[in-house]
Amino acid sequence: MNSRISLNGYACKTVADSSTEDFWSPLLGKRGNITNSLGSLVTLANVEKYPGLNTFGLSLTRIYFTEGGMNPPHVHPCASKIVYLVRGSMYVGFVTTGNKLFAKRINEGGMFMFPKGLLHSQMNVGKGDVVILAALSRQNPRV
């Protein structure tokens, strides 16, 4: 994108140069192949892959899990996260800085929140594949 305007280190378009296409993305529309030993595939729609998110303070992730697959313990130092379980059954949880565990098995339609900067993970504990959507409170939440 050719722009002389930059916010948060990313180019911004003027209103005159913007279109509906700047606010749309097909990033999360295709499943992709799970090829790792963890049995999960994280597809992130952040400002680097979806420039229209710049200044919105949001990003979205779709995670597929094979049976028994997991998203290993990790931290988002700059963002809180909420997950919505589209299909399946997951064991989710986080650990506080005081070493207290908050964990729960959630089923289809359930949600769970992870506070910013805390170690958290998710694991498929049901039968079949699992799909979750995760919204993060930062345009580039980092891991």
| pLDDT tens-place string over residues 23-35 | 888 888 887 789 8
CATH superfamily, with its number, for domain 5-136:
Jelly Rolls (2.60.120.10)
Provide the pLDDT for residue 32. 79
Q: Is 74 annotated as a binding residue?
A: yes
Q: Is 76 annotated as a binding residue?
A: yes
Which H/E stretch holds residue 129? Answer: none
Phi, psi (deg, nearest 5) at residue 2: -95, 105
Q: Is 36 annotated as a binding residue?
A: no
Domain ranges of the chain: 5-136
Question: For residue 55, what pLDDT band results from cuts at 50, 70 and 90?
Answer: confident
Contact, 133 vs 86, CB < 8 A? yes
Beta bridge partners of 65: 40, 130
| pLDDT tens-place string over residues 112-129 | 999 999 999 999 999 999
